[in-house]
Amino acid sequence: MTTERNGGRLIGVLLAGLLVSACSGNTATAMPQAGTATQSSEQRPAPAVTGLPDFTALVDRFGPAVVNVQVTEKPRETPPQVRGPQGANPNDPFSDFFRRFGIPNPNGGGGGRGGNAPPARGEGSGFIVTADGYILTNAHVVRGASEVVVKLTDRREYPAKVVGQDARTDVAVLKIDGKNLPTVKLGDPAKLKPGQWVVAIGSPFGFENSVTAGIVSATARTLPDDRYVPFIQTDVPVNPGNSGGPLFNMDGEVVGINSQIYSQTGGYMGLSFAIPIDVANNVREQLVKSGKVSRGRIGVSIQDVSSQLADSFGLDRPRGALVGSVESGGPADKGGVKAGDIIVRVDGKLIERDSEVPSLISGIKPGSDTQIEVWRDRAVKKLTVKVAELKEDGEKTAKADGGDGAAQGALGLTVRPLQPEERRQVKTDGTLVVEDVTGPAAAAGVQPGDIILGVNGTPVKSVDDLKAAAKKSGKTVALLIQRGEAQIFVPVRTGG
């Protein structure tokens, strides 16, 4: 995943054109023969797409509220650099490129002496959300900035203060001193559907107020390390410098902040991602009010429900979020949530994938009650959980030593009881550790050192418990295992 920030690494010009041609001249019209009939307009199927959109009114009205954000970073201490001909750095393939175009090199392009390098400069985009000068942009655009300048389309420039930034969502709030400034309208990302047109305005590679358009490719996308943002995926051309700029719907409402691209080259490759504006605006309101962002948590680890797991728990189809572990004494534990529950609704909202739960829960104010529906024992159970404030978690790794094994033929597992000292070291409530893995368990991803906690939601404490639970299962067995401090369900297909 490439995060756009500095417009200096690549320069390119993308020219996209639409050519609509019409043929004119003498045409022959075929008259219907006797016994034939022309197809009436009522008989023809309605076209799926009618014409192409015109974005000029949208850009004219809201383009002035889109700003260029210019950033100066604090000087960095750098070691002496080797210089080639004409001052080029042979270790930096872009050095001569930047020198010839007169562009500051983000990798450092100063002289051959050590000491403080010239301040790095970068730029991105942003948009004005209040007439008195509050601006939304990306946190990565202004991270480490010593000076921020905001430039409007009429070439007015303002020094900007960074009110706050939130790394989890990559949202930052700026403030400039102004009155009656042009602003955008905020829309509802929940109404977006794949296939709808959207427009981005920003400063790709420093080309201010560039307009690009495309369609929504998908909604509620989860990216690696970004479980708290349900990204909007589009095919809108977005490049370095677009970061922090608005994504508009066809009503001229901002529905997202352009934040990331997937790229193997550093430039646009057809996969762009925007932060939903409701997520960003919630962050803005908290940063302006208190200078920090509070998020909700309920103290569970969850995973997606595969077809095999749905079959194991008697669910009609793969959906929801499977609870792998519940923090002892945490909000979910106090509310009655158990490992093996499948969360199917949060405050009435249907849960299709596990990735939907963190963003929903994190958006609930700590101290509030949330209604959670879970699938347990082949029936829906309603629970009330008081949400706590999110804190960081740690992680450890567990392993097992040798010992006498007990082979579980159907699963392909060899397990043994954990010794009391081992249980204290690993900090587990489990009593069985995996010694060896073959067959179905190996294919499912079970590993030596995993600790077996349960089967299909039923705790197991002994080898006999494991045998009995596996025997009663159908063609798929859902093993609850502990690996490190994480607890996950692993579906093992036995073919029974």
DSSP codes joined into one string, 322-345: EEEEE-TTSHHHHHT--TT-EEEE
Please choose, from the candidates 116, 230, 117, the residue with its C-alpha nearest in 3D space to the C-alpha of residue 168. Answer: 230
Of 341, 83, 106, the C-alpha closest to 206 is: 106
Rounded mean pLDDT, 303-332 = 91
Contact of 352 with 302, CB cutoff 8 Å: no
Q: What letter represents residue 305's amino acid? A: V
pLDDT tens-digit map of 45-93:
666 556 788 999 999 999 999 999 999 886 655 544 444 434 444 445 4
399 domain residue, yes or no: no
| 34 vs 338: CA distance, rounded Å | 76
Report the domain count for the chain: 4
Distance CA 376, CA 346 (A): 15
284 and 305 within one domain: no
Mean pLDDT is lowest, of 54-58, 146-150, 393-397, 486-490, for 393-397
Domain limit, last residue, from 229, 263, 290: 290
Extract the tokens encoding 215: 């369609």
Q: Is residue 113 in some structural domain?
A: yes
Asked if residue 132 and residue 230 are part of one domain, the reply reads no
Instruction: State mean pLDDT over 161-176.
Output: 93
CA angle 435, 438, 444 (to 5 degrees): 100
Final residue in a domain of this structure, among 141, 175, 209:
175
Same domain, 99 and 164: yes
Please check the confidence at residue 30 and state whether its pLDDT lies above 60: no
Which one of 95, 140, 263, 354 is the catalytic residue? 140
Q: How far apart are CA 151 and CA 67, in angstroms?
A: 6
Domain extent at residue 318: 296-389
Catalytic residue, from 170, 226, 341, 450: name it. Answer: 170
pLDDT bracket for residue 29 (50, 70, 90): very low
**Section 291-295 average pLDDT:** 89
Task: Give rounded-to-5 percent helix, strand, coil for the chain.
Answer: 15, 35, 50
CATH classification of the domain holding 442: 2.30.42.10
Average pLDDT on 325-332 reads 88
Integer Cα distance of 219 and 215 in angstroms: 11
Q: Which of 228-237, 275-284, 425-434 has the lowest mean pLDDT?
A: 425-434
Please check whether residues 152 and 193 belong to one and the same domain: no
pLDDT interval class at 138 (50, 70, 90): very high
On average, the pLDDT of the chain sits at 79
**CA distances in angstroms from 206 to 190, 203, 270, 394, 459, listed in the order given:** 31, 5, 20, 40, 59
Q: Three-class SS string for 354-375? A: CCHHHHHHHCCCCCCEEEEEEE
Is 210 among the residues known to form the active site? Answer: no
Catalytic residue check, 140: yes
The domain that holds 232 is classified in CATH as 2.40.10.10
Of the two residues 248 and 496, the one the predictor is more confident about is 248
Residue 483 lies in a domain: yes
Same domain, yes or no, for 190 and 225? yes
| CA–CA separation, 453 and 173 (whole Å) | 46
Instruction: Specify whether 85 is located in the same domain as 111.
Output: yes
**pLDDT tens-digit profile of 345-364?**
999 999 998 888 988 898 89
Residue 99 has pLDDT above 60, yes or no: no
Read off the pLDDT of each residue in 392-402 and give the average, rounded to a whole number.
35
Which range, 3-12, 46-55, 298-307, has the best average confidence (pLDDT)? Answer: 298-307
404 catalytic? Reply is no
Strands (E), 94-170: 115-116, 121-128, 134-138, 145-151, 157-159, 161-166
Residue 225 in any domain: the answer is yes
pLDDT range class, residue 119, cuts 50, 70, 90: low
In this prediction, residue 175 carries a pLDDT of 96
Whole-angstrom distance, CA of residue 441 vs CA of residue 450: 11
Tell me which of 95, 203, 217, 243 is the catalytic residue: 243
Question: Do 75 and 169 have their domain in common?
Answer: yes
**What pLDDT band is residue 113 in, cutting at 50, 70 and 90?**
very low
Last residue of a domain, one of 359, 389, 419: 389
Q: Look at residue 88 and give its three-state secondary structure.
A: coil
Q: Please write the tens of the pLDDT for every residue from 403-422.
A: 333 434 567 788 888 877 67
